[in-house]
Amino acid sequence: MEKNSKIYVAGHRGLVGSSIVRELERKRYTNIIVRTHDELDLLDPIAVRAFFETERPEYVFLAAARVGGIMANNTYPADFIRENLIVQTNVLHEAYKSGVKKLLFLGSSCIYPKLAPQPIKEEYLMTGPLEETNSAYAMAKIAGIEMCQAYHRQYGCNFISVMPTNLYGPNDNFSPERSHVLPALIRRFHEAKMSDAPTVTVWGTGAPKREFLHVDDLGSACVFLMETYDDPSIINIGTGEDVTIRELAELIAATVGYNGKIVWDKTKPDGTPQKKLDVSKIHALGWKHTIPLEQGLASTYVWFKNSFNSA
Ligand code: GDP
């Protein structure tokens, strides 16, 4: 990828896409193209075709997707499978037809079996049943991986697929119903602190374990892999370290400065018991995360306060 190559980042306003744009700019890439949802509806195959025929990007980061936390996935599975299948089908096919040099597809750690051995190696894909709360989303992402590999096999396309662990950081979704656990808890603990609430309710038992990667580390990994990795086999991106949801809640309470009590709502689903990625493959290539969880939480809390106060 040359510094003046034409690079399209799909989903540039989201958590992942915005971090990729920041990293490309930091590395002095000068020809980045983006489209807002209003300018280009990726669900519309005709609009996507026209965009690729006119713009002819050389490199594509496909970071546009319907995403959400456990409750959103569990409540709107049809939207999650349909929209992700359509967006990735439109973009991958038009990228092939317009002769894109390389494309990076964003998957997710939820594509792995619910009870996969830990830490999860790339080769565990499709070795067992999925977690029920997000199987529709996961199936769409698995289809996306398969499509990248099929276009590689049949047409020689350089389409790579990366599997990030749970992400957090600026531009995350902090809405109470749709968000993932980390932004949900930052907001809930912040609001409890502001209103002097004696308790904060957290979903599930607190026992599940999750790995959290700051999205700036993900952005750096994605650009690094775009520059160096030309293999259709999937590659994990994570820290290789995890915490229980209880530990996460306590860390967030401390970050926010909330001193009340945590109450567990066991009627809410726990989801998969653990999903910690094996990151030895990306470590062997020379990439490692740099932002510890405590530091990432602190900066994300500052971002949250600034953007929500100004909104
Ligand atoms: P998952 O990794 O796909 O399960 O997605 P989430 O980030 O939504 O949930 C991770 C874990 O955090 C699950 O065990 C949830 O039950 C738990 N959790 C605790 N409180 C919350 C909350 O307020 N919102 C969300 N989304 N999850 C929560």
- CA gap 262, 145 in Å, rounded: 39
pLDDT for 176: 85
pLDDT for 260: 97
Q: How far is the CA of 10 from the centre of ligand 1 (A)?
A: 26
Task: Provide CB contacts within 8 A for 38, sequence distance 6+.
Answer: none
Q: How far is the CA of 256 from the centre of ligand 1 (A)?
A: 19
Closest C-alpha to ligand 1, atom 28: 181
Of the candidates 161, 150, 297, the one whose C-alpha atom is nearest the C-alpha of residue 237 is 161
Ligand 1 pocket, residue 110 CB under 6 Å? yes
Q: How far is the CA of 41 from the centre of ligand 1 (A)?
A: 29
Asked if 217 and 144 touch (Cβ cutoff 8 Å), the reply is no
pLDDT for 33: 98
- Assess whether pLDDT exceeds 70 at residue 310: no
Ligand 1 pocket, residue 203 CB under 6 Å? yes
The catalytically annotated residue of 29, 59, 112, 137 is 137
Ligand 1 pocket, residue 165 CB under 6 Å? no
DSSP conformation letters of 237-296: ES-S--EEHHHHHHHHHHHHT--SEEEEETTS---SSEE-B--HHHHHHT------HHHH
Q: What's the residue count for the chain?
A: 311
Closest C-alpha to ligand 1, atom 14: 270
Q: Pull the structure tokens for residue 147.
A: 């499509």
Name the more confident of 12 and 177: 12
What confidence tens digit (pLDDT) does each residue in 36-86 have? 999 999 999 999 999 999 999 999 999 999 999 999 999 999 999 999 999
99-125: average pLDDT: 97
Ligand 1 pocket, residue 74 CB under 6 Å? no
What confidence tens digit (pLDDT) does each residue in 209-244 have? 999 999 999 999 999 999 999 999 999 999 999 999
- Assess whether pLDDT exceeds 80 at residue 257: yes
Residue 308 pLDDT level (bands cut at 50, 70, 90): confident
- Assess whether pLDDT exceeds 70 at residue 246: yes
- Map out the domains of the chain as residue ranges: 7-171+212-241+275-291
Q: Which CATH architecture does the domain made up of 7-171+212-241+275-291 adopt?
A: 3-Layer(aba) Sandwich (3.40)
What confidence tens digit (pLDDT) does each residue in 126-143 have? 999 999 999 999 999 999
- Assess whether pLDDT exceeds 60 at residue 311: no
Ligand 1 pocket, residue 166 CB under 6 Å? yes
139-154: average pLDDT: 98
- CA gap 9, 21 in Å, rounded: 7
pLDDT for 177: 82
Mean pLDDT, the chain, as a whole number?
97
Ligand 1 pocket, residue 245 CB under 6 Å? yes
Asked if 92 and 40 touch (Cβ cutoff 8 Å), the reply is no
Ligand 1 closest atom vs CA 69: 8
Q: How far is the CA of 180 from the centre of ligand 1 (A)?
A: 6
Please give the angle made by the CA atoms of 105, 174 and 260, to the nearest 5 degrees: 135
Q: Pull the structure tokens for residue 275.
A: 């999903």
Q: How far is the CA of 102 from the centre of ligand 1 (A)?
A: 34
- CA gap 123, 174 in Å, rounded: 33
Closest C-alpha to ligand 1, atom 13: 270
Ligand 1 pocket, residue 181 CB under 6 Å? yes
